[in-house]
Amino acid sequence: MSALIESSALTVHRPGTSEPVLAQVDFRIQPGEIVTVVGPNGSGKSSLIRALLGHMPLASGRVVRRRGLRIGYVPQWVQLDTAIPMTVRRFLSLPTRVTDAQAEAALARTGVAGLGARQLTQLSGGQFQRVLLARALLSDPHLLVLDEPTQGLDQPGIVAFYQLIEEVRRQTGAAVLMVSHDLLVVMRSSDRVVCLNGHVCCEGTPQHVSTAPEYRALFGAEAQGTLALYRHRHDHDHDLMPAGAHVHRPGCGHDHTAPRR
């Protein structure tokens, strides 16, 4: 299958200057794939998303979006103007009107059923992110683009949100392109991770990236945490432990049926 979005030698300048934010980025996302972009502040993560979506002029390079590609977009830190009174139901009808049944189904799918009559300004951070996701899902997208969707959520909120995203992917088969800071969770739920710092430092499976020296140089101590997650299967010896002594948690990436030596 062809890629949903593909860029080659993408270069983007900071608006109004000739200073590059991103240089020579080759990127592609396949149908059904969860790809996460990580990188320090100012590394051009959001610029990459905007350039891929065509919201930002390219300095050079090429972006090819598959013909008829439907994108559901959850932008970074949506700042709603409180001057506009608007209910969740009305918000879901922007810019394309949807029926009540569709709106309710989308809200139910993201776990905020029954919030339709609520004002947008009365939602909590977590509820609002879910409403944004519900709105993005209404167009039945081939690709979900989420720019730091868990900003402002606490740890349980983040984990729940990523579970929701994986669930949505399973149900709809949509590809997911995400920008995130939550390294631990990202590493657990992505198919592929792109580590960005003005250019692509390294990319590949989470396991590959977390062991890459470029990644560890960028993220330092925090990288050690994600590394431990993957070294985890080597950090204890199953032979010395009575069966059942090790408590599995959701997301634990190993099993005891075939102990490794």
Partner 1 sequence: MLDDFFTRAVLAGLGLALVAGPLGSFVVWRRMAYFGDSTAHAAILGVAFALAFDISIYAGTLAVAVSMACLVSALVARGQAMDTMLGVLSHSALALGLVAISFVPQARSDLGGYLFGDILAVGRSDLVLIWTGAALVLGVLILRWQRLVTSSLNEELAMAAGIDPRVERLVLSLALAVVVALAIRVVGSLLISAMLANDTPVVMGVTFVFACLVVLFNLIADILYGWLDPRIAFR
Strand partners, 10: 25
CA-to-CA distance for 41 and 82, rounded, in angstroms? 28
- The answer to whether residue 9 forms part of the interface with partner 1 (CB under 8 A) is no
From candidates 39, 44, 75, 116, binder to partner 1 by CB under 8 A: 75
Taking contact as CB under 8 A, which single stretch among the options 24-32, 80-88, 156-164, 219-227 is the one that binds partner 1?
Answer: 80-88
Rg value, the chain, Cα: 20
Taking contact as CB under 8 A, which single stretch among the options 79-87, 121-129, 223-231, 245-253 is the one that binds partner 1?
Answer: 79-87
- The answer to whether residue 84 forms part of the interface with partner 1 (CB under 8 A) is yes
- The answer to whether residue 69 forms part of the interface with partner 1 (CB under 8 A) is no
Taking contact as CB under 8 A, which single stretch among the options 5-13, 91-99, 159-167, 204-212 is the one that binds partner 1?
Answer: 91-99
Asked whether 112 and 130 are in contact (CB, 8 A), the reply is yes
Nearest to 89 by CA among 100, 80, 81, 75: 100
Chain position carrying tokens 């909120």 = 157
Map the footprint of partner 1 across residues 151-170, applying CB under 8 A: none
Beta-strand relationship, 60-65 and 192-196: unpaired
CA-to-CA distance for 54 and 64, rounded, in angstroms? 10
Which pairs with CB-CB distance under 8 Å and at least 24 residues apart come from 183-187? 183/38, 183/219, 183/222, 183/223, 183/225, 183/226, 184/225, 184/226, 184/229, 185/150, 185/158, 185/159, 186/36, 186/38, 187/226, 187/229, 187/230
Considering the complex, what minimum distance in angstroms separates the CB of residue 176 from partner 1? 15
Map the footprint of partner 1 across residues 124-153, applying CB under 8 A: 145
- The answer to whether residue 248 forms part of the interface with partner 1 (CB under 8 A) is no
Instruction: Give the count of residues interacting with partner 1 (CB under 8 A).
Output: 21
Taking contact as CB under 8 A, which single stretch among the options 36-44, 69-77, 196-204, 212-220 is the one that binds partner 1?
Answer: 69-77
From candidates 25, 29, 37, 53, binder to partner 1 by CB under 8 A: 53
Considering the complex, what minimum distance in angstroms separates the CB of residue 83 from partner 1? 5
From candidates 19, 81, 235, 255, binder to partner 1 by CB under 8 A: 81
Contacts with 93 (C-beta within 8 Å, 6 or more apart), sequence order: 103
Chain position carrying tokens 């009107």 = 97
Taking contact as CB under 8 A, which single stretch among the options 81-89, 98-106, 197-205, 222-230 is the one that binds partner 1?
Answer: 81-89
Contacts with 161 (C-beta within 8 Å, 6 or more apart), sequence order: 126, 129, 130, 149, 150, 153
- In the complex with partner 1, the residue whose CB is nearer, 79 or 257, is 79
Considering the complex, what minimum distance in angstroms separates the CB of residue 1 from partner 1? 23
Catalog residues that contact partner 1 under the rule CB under 8 A.
16, 53, 55, 71, 73, 75-76, 78-81, 83-84, 86, 91, 93-97, 145
